[in-house]
């Protein structure tokens, strides 16, 4: 096995040493001859050598290098050619260690069919027969909005008839319903000339290119000319078309119409850094004519710049963009022929970049919500990860415990401890505590007593300790708990949840001296912590009320051995008071609680009377 590895290393070393120092792409193959990685390089020798002349950190890159059994390469003329070839080969072979575009669907385009009277329709098939195609449209509502605008502006045929000049002259066709409802001008029977129909098609092509301003200006001039010639009815029809286009353009234009034929890109990484989202906008005369956001799954911890380079090449190829300018959020090491890269700081171009960033962030949020719906545990893990990052904890706070005291001016002091495991209440682990060693209303001392009792027992019984301990209180509570934890020699992170003067959760405290950790009050993290605090408060208060209620309803019956809670309640319901129970006849007692219980009661009361 070792000899085979040595032979492989010598073989690869020989290939690397003889690689040219020119642009190109390289392919790594495994022992089975399968392509496992495709890359591009400005300098093939320098790039490929970097995989073999240094020790890689543990991870996927090291695994990739260990699986390389052969190297192939293709020399090209420029870095741009290398990028395009790399993109094609990745799509063709789908290598295991390459970044792959997650959404590789075919999106519809709008076709202007190459025929005597062209039809216009949406399609996913591109047929090279001289027809014109516009798109593809990743945002379907935008495509349908354009088609709807065209339908209202121009009467076009929708039939599949072969409208050749010969067939029309020979009267082979009859008009259909579309003609009668004025959606078609009847070219099939010669009611509309081919010249007039093609004028409409030329205007439609300008609209599909995004040149709505020119069509709008032309319609305005036509309307004015008709009005001057006193042709008011015709002028009104043109005016209606003019207003339709003006309304459409006002909705689609986002910046000055001076900005024309520009591509805009923005990128945002996922929270777990395992994928990235890229937004692409194409701008024509100040309007967005293409908008698409897609996802790349990382394979070898690729940087944002690497992924953005891939995205730029992929989107420009997919949408056949010839834009001479590309707006990006940061400098990109990418050379494309006759292309200018711009990182705007202000003005309309910055407005376009901000719009692209807004779109990619919204896409990220939407994907996150979608994933969390399918996998609720993912949301919990994200929240716990957020707590870990905010508090700089060594590990994920899978087990969180929270304490609260309850008493009224020192009477019936109790405490409660609630436990949340993986962000959910673990009610079988909840515990109630009667305060035993503290006299009077001393919350700090009460908290210390409960913490000592709980965690000294946990250590003795080898029970799980919390990853995070939360006190329902501010700095004073935190200091008291820390003192108790330190006495036990334990290392448990301590946080405090403080309330405002309206008794609402207002801030999270952490560290010694405690520092306020910023949280948005509408964030899921804030809601989780508030829920923990509300739960421990409810638990402690309920325990305190139960204890106080029992003390207030305690009676002489509690001292009688053999008389339980149910029997006591039955007696009090029947006789209303202990005095009446004492005075009741043996028959009345027997009827209320049975012969055995009646005998216990009579024996107790008789004995007590003798002592008196």
Residues counted in the chain: 612
593 and 503 assigned to the same domain: no
Whether 28 has a pLDDT exceeding 90, the answer reads yes
d(CA 282, CA 290): 5
Residue 297 sits in a domain whose CATH number is 3.30.420
Secondary structure of residue 462 in the 3-state scheme = coil
494 and 566 assigned to the same domain: no
Provide, rounded to the nearest whole percent, the portion of the chain with pLDDT above 90: 14
Higher model confidence: residue 514 or residue 452? 452
517 and 570 assigned to the same domain: no
Domain contains 187: no
Helix, strand and coil content of the chain, in percent to the nearest 5, comes to 50, 20, 35
- 361-414 residue pLDDT tens: 888 887 777 766 666 677 778 788 888 888 888 888 999 999 888 765 545 678
Task: Supply the pLDDT for residue 104.
Answer: 52
30 and 79 assigned to the same domain: yes
Whether 552 has a pLDDT exceeding 80, the answer reads no
Q: What is the extent of the structural domain holding 511?
A: 385-550
pLDDT-derived band at 251, boundaries 50, 70, 90: low
476 and 504 assigned to the same domain: yes
| Tokens representing residue 361 in the block | 């962030």
d(CA 593, CA 588): 9
Whether 60 has a pLDDT exceeding 60, the answer reads yes
| Tokens representing residue 285 in the block | 């005369």
Task: Supply the pLDDT for residue 1.
Answer: 44
474 and 511 assigned to the same domain: yes
- 267-322 residue pLDDT tens: 998 866 778 899 998 888 777 777 788 888 888 778 888 899 888 988 888 888 88
Higher model confidence: residue 545 or residue 598? 598
d(CA 24, CA 44): 6
Residue 563 sits in a domain whose CATH number is 1.10.150.20
pTM over 0.85: no
Cβ neighbourhood burial of 80 (10 Å; 0-12, 13-18, 19+): middle
283 and 431 assigned to the same domain: no
Domain contains 185: no
Whether 324 has a pLDDT exceeding 90, the answer reads yes
Whether 568 has a pLDDT exceeding 50, the answer reads yes
d(CA 203, CA 153): 10
Q: Got the DSSP string for 272-329? A: TSSEEEEEEEEEETTEEEEEEEEEEE-SS---HHHHHHHHHHHHHHHTT---SEEE-S
Domain contains 590: yes
536 and 560 assigned to the same domain: no
Provide, rounded to the nearest whole percent, the portion of the chain with pLDDT above 70: 89
> What does the radius of gyration of the chain's CA atoms come to, in whole angstroms?
39
Beta bridge partners of 73: 26
- 79-99 residue pLDDT tens: 777 887 888 888 788 888 888
pLDDT-derived band at 7, boundaries 50, 70, 90: low
Domain contains 131: no
The single residue listed with the structure tokens 């799509």 is 91
Cα 332–chain centre separation: 26
- Which ranges constitute the DSSP H helices of 407-564? 443-460, 475-487, 524-552
Residue 7 sits in a domain whose CATH number is 3.40.1440.10
Whether 539 has a pLDDT exceeding 70, the answer reads yes
Whether 195 has a pLDDT exceeding 90, the answer reads yes
571 and 543 assigned to the same domain: no
Domain contains 276: yes
Task: Supply the pLDDT for residue 118.
Answer: 93
Higher model confidence: residue 109 or residue 251? 109
Strands 505-510 and 494-499: antiparallel
- 103-140 residue pLDDT tens: 555 678 889 999 999 999 998 888 888 898 887 776 67
* End-of-domain residue from the set 65, 98, 131: 98
Domain contains 147: no
Give the residue from 166, 260, 173, 262 showing the smallest Cα distance to 211.
Answer: 260
Task: Supply the pLDDT for residue 502.
Answer: 60
The single residue listed with the structure tokens 């029809």 is 237
Q: Is the Cβ–Cβ distance between 321 and 263 less than 8 Å?
A: yes
355 and 429 assigned to the same domain: no
Residues 30-51, mean pLDDT to the nearest whole number: 89
Domain contains 253: no
- 472-499 residue pLDDT tens: 877 888 888 898 899 888 888 988 887 7
Task: Supply the pLDDT for residue 37.
Answer: 92
Residue 415 sits in a domain whose CATH number is 3.30.420.340
Residues 169-196, mean pLDDT to the nearest whole number: 90
Domain contains 360: yes
Domain total in the chain: 4
Cα 547–chain centre separation: 47
Task: Supply the pLDDT for residue 553.
Answer: 47
Whether 554 has a pLDDT exceeding 50, the answer reads no
* End-of-domain residue from the set 325, 347, 372: 372
Residues 239-265, mean pLDDT to the nearest whole number: 76
10 and 27 assigned to the same domain: yes
429 and 574 assigned to the same domain: no
CB atoms within 10 A of CB 452: 17
Q: Which residues contact 494 (CB under 8 A, 6 or more apart)?
A: 468, 469, 470, 471, 478, 481, 482, 485, 510
* End-of-domain residue from the set 534, 550, 566: 550
């Amino acid at each position: 096995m070792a000899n085979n590895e040595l032979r492989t290393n010598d073989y690869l070393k020989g290939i690397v040493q003889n690689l040219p120092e020119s642009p190109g792409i390289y392919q790594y193959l495994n022992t089975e001859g399968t392509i496992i990685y495709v890359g591009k390089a400005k300098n093939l020798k320098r790039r490929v050598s970097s995989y073999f002349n240094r020790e890689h950190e543990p991870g996927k890159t090291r695994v990739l290098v260990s699986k390389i059994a052969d190297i192939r390469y293709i020399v090209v003329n420029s870095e741009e050619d290398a990028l395009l070839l790399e993109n094609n080969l990745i799509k063709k072979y789908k290598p295991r260690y390459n970044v792959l575009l997650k959404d590789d669907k075919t999106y519809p385009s709008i076709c202007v069919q190459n025929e005597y009277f062209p039809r216009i329709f949406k399609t996913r098939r591109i047929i090279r027969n001289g027809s014109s195609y516009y798109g593809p449209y990743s945002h379907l509502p935008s495509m349908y909005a354009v088609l709807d605008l065209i339908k209202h502006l121009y009467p076009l045929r929708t039939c599949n008839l072969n409208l050749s000049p010969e067939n029309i002259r020979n009267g082979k066709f009859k008009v259909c319903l579309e003609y009668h409802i004025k959606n078609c001008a009847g070219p099939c029977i010669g009611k509309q000339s081919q010249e007039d129909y093609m004028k409409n098609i030329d205007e439609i092509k300008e609209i599909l290119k995004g040149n709505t301003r020119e069509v709008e200006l032309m319609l305005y001039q036509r309307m004015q000319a008709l009005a001057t010639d006193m042709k008011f009815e015709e002028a009104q029809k043109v005016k209606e078309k003019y207003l339709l286009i003006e309304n459409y353009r006002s909705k689609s234009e986002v910046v000055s119409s001076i900005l024309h034929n520009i591509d805009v890109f923005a990128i945002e990484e996922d929270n777990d850094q395992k994928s990235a989202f890229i937004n692409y906008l194409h701008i024509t005369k100040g309007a967005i004519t293409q908008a698409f956001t897609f996802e790349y799954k990382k394979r070898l911890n690729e940087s944002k710049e690497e992924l953005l380079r891939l995205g730029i090449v992929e989107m420009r190829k997919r949408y056949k963009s010839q834009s001479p300018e590309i707006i990006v959020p940061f400098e990109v090491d990418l050379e494309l022929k006759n292309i200018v890269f711009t990182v705007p700081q202000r003005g309309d171009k910055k407005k376009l970049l901000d719009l692209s960033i807004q779109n990619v962030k919204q896409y990220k949020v939407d994907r996150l919500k979608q994933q969390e719906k399918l996998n609720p545990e993912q949301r919990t893990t994200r929240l716990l990860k957020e707590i870990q990052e905010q508090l700089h904890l060594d590990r994920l706070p899978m087990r969180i415990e929270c304490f609260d005291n309850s008493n009224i001016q020192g009477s019936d002091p109790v405490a409660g401890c609630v436990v949340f495991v993986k962000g959910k209440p673990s009610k079988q682990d909840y515990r109630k505590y009667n305060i035993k060693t503290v006299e009077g209303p001393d919350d700090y001392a009460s908290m210390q007593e409960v913490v000592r009792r709980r965690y000294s027992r946990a250590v003795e019984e080898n029970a799980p300790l919390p990853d995070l301990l939360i006190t329902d209180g501010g700095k004073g509570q935190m200091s008291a708990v820390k003192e108790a934890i330190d006495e036990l020699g334990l290392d448990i992170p301590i946080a405090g949840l403080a309330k405002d003067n309206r008794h609402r959760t207002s801030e999270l405290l952490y560290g010694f001296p405690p520092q306020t950790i910023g949280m948005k009050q509408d964030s899921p993290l804030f809601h989780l912590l508030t829920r923990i605090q509300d739960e421990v408060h409810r638990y402690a208060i309920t325990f305190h009320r139960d204890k106080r209620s029992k003390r207030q309803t305690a009676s002489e019956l509690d001292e009688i051995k053999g008389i339980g809670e149910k029997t006591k309640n039955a007696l009090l319901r029947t006789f209303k008071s202990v005095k009446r129970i004492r005075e009741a006849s043996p028959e009345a007692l027997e009827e209320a609680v049975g012969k055995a219980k009646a005998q216990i009661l009579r024996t107790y009361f008789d004995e007590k009377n003798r002592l008196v």
